[in-house]
């Protein structure tokens, strides 16, 4: 028997949301889908224009397809705060770029899962799209863009170990 220390269950760590700068706030499980309500961990209440502090002005929700849990499509329902600067009046949304690219429909972990499924597990785009719970076109476009970014545009891809050793 190992000397492993067990911790209380933590949905944020189990679903790797901490890597995305998110924390789980709730869950809704259905037979064919899991929905995790999330919020961004890091506050983003300083204006990029004038440096003044913003005040919260509500939230918007952003659904993101995420890596499936047990082949059940999983959606992150990310609550994104909106802020208004007290100085210049500029309005902005909380930065969640660690979780997904702007306007993306799939989280960064979901993209990683999809790309590994195609490259390493030889899954079809249709199977990846089904696992993510998105359309074939959405999955295909996202996988092609991520594959180009990670595999083709990496200047160190031919170096030993895959890293630039300058």
Residue 1 lies in a domain: no
The mean pLDDT value of the chain amounts to: 90
Confidence of residue 161 (pLDDT cuts 50, 70, 90): low
Distance of alpha carbon 100 from alpha carbon 51, whole angstroms: 25
- Residue 3 inside a domain? The answer is no
The set of residues, in sequence order, having a beta carbon less than 8 Å from that of 1 and lying 6+ positions away, is: none
| Residue 55 near residue 84 (C-beta atoms within 8 A) | yes
Q: Is residue 6 part of a domain?
A: no
Inside any domain, residue 134: yes
Count of domains observed in the chain: 1
pTM of the predicted protein model: 0.83
Sorted by sequence, the CB contacts under 8 Å of residue 38 that are 6+ apart come out as 17, 22, 23, 24, 25, 76, 77, 78, 79, 99
Residue 132 lies in a domain: yes
**pLDDT tens sequence across 102-115:** 999 999 999 999 99
Residue 30 lies in a domain: yes
User: How far apart, in whole angstroms, are the C-alpha atoms of residue 143 and residue 129?
Assistant: 10
* Domain-located, residue 119: yes
Give the domain range for residue 119: 11-162
């Amino acid at each position: 028997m190992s000397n492993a220390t067990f911790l209380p269950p933590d949905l944020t760590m189990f679903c790797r949301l901490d890597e995305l700068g998110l924390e789980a706030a709730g869950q809704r499980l259905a037979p064919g889908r899991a929905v995790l309500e999330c919020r961004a961990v890091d506050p983003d209440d300083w204006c990029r224009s004038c440096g003044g502090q913003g005040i919260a002005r509500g939230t918007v929700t952003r659904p993101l397809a995420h890596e499936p849990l047990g082949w059940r499509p999983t959606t992150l329902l990310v609550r994104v705060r909106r802020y208004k600067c007290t100085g210049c009046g500029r309005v902005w949304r909380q930065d969640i770029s660690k979780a997904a690219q702007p306007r993306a429909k799939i989280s960064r972990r979901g993209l990683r899962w999809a790309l590994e499924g195609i490259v390493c597990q030889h899954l079809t785009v249709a199977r990846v799209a089904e696992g993510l719970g998105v359309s074939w076109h959405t999955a295909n476009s996202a996988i092609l863009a991520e594959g180009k970014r990670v595999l083709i545009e990496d200047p160190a891809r031919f170096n030993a170990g895959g890293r630039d050793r300058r």
